[in-house]
Amino acid sequence: MRSKKTSTEAALYLLGRRDYSVAEIRQKLAQKGYDENDIAHTVIRLKELEYLDDAKYARHFVSTKARVSGWGKMRIEMSLRQKQITDNFIEKALLYWENRIEQGEELPWVDSATDLLDRRYGKACGRLEMKEFQKQMGFLLRRGFNMDEAREALDKNKKEV
């Protein structure tokens, strides 16, 4: 019969499935009933081994959510704060993404919003009815795009006549 996993083994198992922030790993290990001292030791060890790195986690999170999930900057920032990533790491991750946009390696936020609208609603024919405009605007705002980006994306998402 196998004995209970150590907190390090449990953390490594979790990290083998996906990336976690330091706060998320602490929370997961606490939920599994590990002692706070064991958790602290595990976190220190995993940081030394570079398996836990909030800066790297934030950069990867921004990249995934912007590119794959179609999230805007505001939603990404809010979500990282909920995951207890420090403002410094959030700013650096978003700045890294902004630099990639400036270098032409990634789509600008407005173009991402426009693509998202096109995939969800298709191209608009002429001027949208107020109800449809509000629906699409709300969709983009909930995805984390600011008002200016959403408005510009709505303007760009029209069929060429």
pLDDT tens, position by position, 124-159: 877 888 999 999 999 999 999 999 999 999 999 876
Q: What is the rounded end-to-end Cα distance, in angstroms, of the chain? A: 72
Place of tokens 């403002």: 87
Residues 6+ apart with CB under 8 A from 27: none
Domains in the chain: ranges and CATH? 7-48 (no CATH), 54-102 (1.10.10), 109-156 (1.10.10)
The enclosing H or E element of 20 equals none
Show the tokens assigned to 3: 């004995």
Predicted confidence (pLDDT) per residue in 87-130, tens digit: 999 999 999 999 999 999 999 999 999 999 999 998 887 788 89
| DSSP per position, 44-65 | HHHHHTTS--HHHHHHHHHHHH
Residue 157, pLDDT score: 87
Predicted confidence (pLDDT) per residue in 22-78, tens digit: 999 999 999 999 999 999 999 999 999 999 999 999 999 999 999 999 999 999 999
Residue 44, pLDDT score: 97
* Partners of 158 in beta bridges: 124
pLDDT at 161 over 60: no
pLDDT at 3 over 70: no
d(CA 118, CA 125): 12
Alpha carbon distances (Å) from 17 to 11, 14, 24, 108 = 10, 6, 13, 30
d(CA 25, CA 15): 9
